Amino acid sequence: MNNRLARLAVPIGIVGIVLLLVVPVPAPLMDFLIVCNILLALLVLLTSMFVKKPLDFSVFPSLLLVITLFRLGLNVASTRLVLGEGYAGQVIEAFGQVTVGGSIVIGAVVFLILVVIQFVVVTKGAERVAEVGARFTLDAMPGKQMAIDADLNAGLLTDTQARDRRAEVSAEADFYGAMDGASKFVKGDAIAGIIIIIINFIGGIAIGMLQGGMPIGDALNTYGLLTMGDGLVSQIPALLMAVATGMIVTRSNAESDMGRTASSQLMQSPNALAIAGVAAIAMALIPGMPPIPFVLVGAGMLLASRRITAQQKADEKVLEDEETALNFPEMDPNEKLLEDMRIHPVEILLAPDLVDMVSGASDDLLARVRSLRHKIAMELGLVIPPVRTRDSVDLPPATYSIRIAGVEAGRGTAPGGQMLALGDSLDSLPGTAMIEPVFGLAGKWIPAEMRHNAEMTGSTVIDRVSVLVTHLSSIVSANAARLLSREDVRVLTEGVRKQSPAAVDELTPALLSLAEVQRVLQGLLDEQVPINDLARIYEALTLRAKISTDPESLVESARQALGPALTAKFMDGPVLNVIMIDPVLEQSMLEDMRPAEGGSQIMMGQDKLDSVLRSVRSAADAAAAANRQAVLVCAPALRPAVRRLIGVQPGSLPVLSYREVTSSNVQIETVGVVRHAEPLSA
């Protein structure tokens, strides 16, 4: 029942506003509606002060229109009462008699002052802020979407969280666009208030003199006071709504409401309070100044400054004790020595000035690394070992190092208090130019307070923790095969045994040892093939191991079993764009293939090799120019050798076999052919 009433409240209110414009309203009901109007405006103002971010009050633009129409409807109804009956209720009469002391001049002056405050100061500023906010929000929208995609790719967000963030960005743009238009309602309301009071004033005097036969003084006193009262009754809630509009459009996203945010930020600097207190006491010494107010205010500021200083020192000591306990826990000397000697699979070394990244906050480095481990487990089926994080005095300032099995695999910088801006329009921004370590994009480390300016230029701005985690993700994915230990294979195999015991019991140890299974899984990970479907992989290995235990053939049989999953990663809708190898060249490559210790190799002349690689790059570039993601397909026996041949080339293509492509129901479209151009004879 309550939900139904809430759903019908606004439509009924709109109908009531329309009735106000055409149906006479008795004076007692007018008093009630005026009180509701004033209190409703006050409620909206207070709500705008207690919201944490503008989107928490997203209905404000529509509510502003409804309340403005309600107030204008009351103006029409009160005008009808003032001009028709010479009486518009006790509220308007009280404002005309008590508020302005029964003086038309005072009433006119107060009314004009309220109009100037609302129209010139509040409304004009709110209108400009709403206009700029709408433009800036729309300009920054692509950058925010790219930042969300970057966090999603780095494993910092789930798909649901990314959708919610994108919806929030879209809702924010819609809100500021609506506020840009809604601010015009406030401006029009102020203009309408001036016009209505002029009409009421002139019309009241004319009616009093012409219809009522009143002397001009009586008509001026009677209708003028009612007009002033009516104007003040309208302008006070109008001013409250204008202030609420300015409050909403100037609010930024915060963790608390405006009162707490303002008090915490005004009290964050004890030095500022102390200087202001001393200045207040000094002003009390000026001859002619009242000393008591200045001394009281100055003493209060000095007392607040001392209390805040003491509180900050206490907080710093607690934080220092917590960091000491975190960084230097009690440990037996022998255990500490063994821990220092141990080689960790994955390790992050931080320069001393980067230790603040491990802060224990909700978005600190440790939390991001935990999210990354979950993401890699879902994508590759590999549970990477815990990542050790420690400081190192050997690193230059603002530098981090990522190690795999004790060997540095990557290094980068993450200066404190700065963010990484990626884009093409960075020349106007202050900061240090650099090359992003994962994608090789040109970027610049800029001060954190310049983030909004960078987003206005269309740049993508990334915090330094995200930069480090993205770099870590790239390195871990590239070294996934090295991170798969024998113990990991045992744990994974035991997990498969619980779900599909027949697949495990038939394979190991009867046909393959754990070491051989590990080698096959490492071969798959080396080509970024997920190993989460272990049951299917083990079934394929069981069939192949009865014929041959050659690692290369085992990897190929596992890939063929995962063919649909491998193909799905490269499909463009229902289509798979493929680059073929010319049949004559393919037959020649099969004839030139030789077994080797590291796997089969294609032994061809250097000129022919260069020609084939040029043809591969040309076909790949043509597909990329047509905005198509292509894969290279070849005979199953040739695939491992071809992959080794072109896998080390920059921008190399994925290499699939005919069996992997045809194992799923896909539509194949050829976008290029690799050929060998024979040299012209002399």
Residue 631 in contact with residue 668, Cβ under 8 Å?
Answer: no
**Residue appearing with tokens 């005919």:** 658
Amino acid at 585: L
Answer CATH for 568-674 from 3.40.50.2300, 3.40.50.12790, 3.90.1010.10, 3.20.20.30 = 3.40.50.12790
243-278: b (≥16 Cβ within 10 Å) or e: bbbbbbbebeeeeeebeeeeeeeeeeebeebbebbe
Nearest to 233 by CA among 338, 78, 4, 443: 78
**Residue appearing with tokens 């009677």:** 222
Question: Residue 408's beta-bridge partner residues?
Answer: 403
Q: What is the DSSP string of 505-526?
A: HHHTTTT--HHHHHHHHHHHHH
Q: Specify the pLDDT at position 650.
A: 45
- Indicate if the alpha-carbon torsion angle 281, 282, 284, 285 is positive or negative: positive
3 state DSSP class of 562: coil
The per-type count for the chain, helices as H runs and strands as E runs, is 26, 14
* 339 CB neighbour count, 10 Å cutoff: 12
C-alpha distances (whole Å) from 337 to each of 333, 334, 342, 386, 558 are 6, 5, 9, 19, 43
Q: What is the DSSP string of 139-172?
A: HHHHHHHHHHHHHHHTTSS-HHHHHHHHHHHHHH
Residues 6 or more apart whose Cβ sits within 8 Å of residue 214? 208, 222
pTM over 0.75: no
Q: Specify the pLDDT at position 76.
A: 78
Dist. CA 632–CA 398, nearest whole Å? 42
3 state DSSP class of 599: coil
Q: What residue ranges of the chain have pLDDT lower than 70?
A: 1-7, 10, 82, 84-88, 95-108, 111, 118-143, 149-156, 180-187, 190, 201, 204-205, 207-214, 216-225, 249-266, 321-341, 359-363, 648-652, 663-664, 678-682
Amino acid at 350: L
3 state DSSP class of 336: helix
Nearest to 573 by CA among 656, 633, 652, 629: 629
Amino acid at 616: V
How many Cα atoms sit within 13 Å of 256 on the Cβ side? 8
How many Cα atoms sit within 13 Å of 209 on the Cβ side? 13
Residue 412 in contact with residue 565, Cβ under 8 Å?
Answer: no
Length of the chain: 682
Question: Residue 631's beta-bridge partner residues?
Answer: 578
Residue 541 in contact with residue 551, Cβ under 8 Å?
Answer: no
Dist. CA 631–CA 652, nearest whole Å? 10
Dist. CA 567–CA 562, nearest whole Å? 9
Greatest extent of the chain over all pairs of C-alpha atoms, in Å: 121
Question: Residue 421's beta-bridge partner residues?
Answer: 444, 461
Q: Specify the pLDDT at position 518.
A: 92
Ranges of each domain in the chain: 2-129+181-250, 268-274+283-316, 340-480, 484-561, 568-674
Dist. CA 226–CA 586, nearest whole Å? 98
**CATH second-level architecture of 484-561?**
Orthogonal Bundle (1.10)
Residue 524 in contact with residue 541, Cβ under 8 Å?
Answer: no
Is there a shared CATH topology between the 340-480 domain and the 568-674 domain?
Answer: no
Q: Which fold has domain 340-480?
A: Glutaredoxin (3.40.30)
Residue 479 in contact with residue 404, Cβ under 8 Å?
Answer: yes
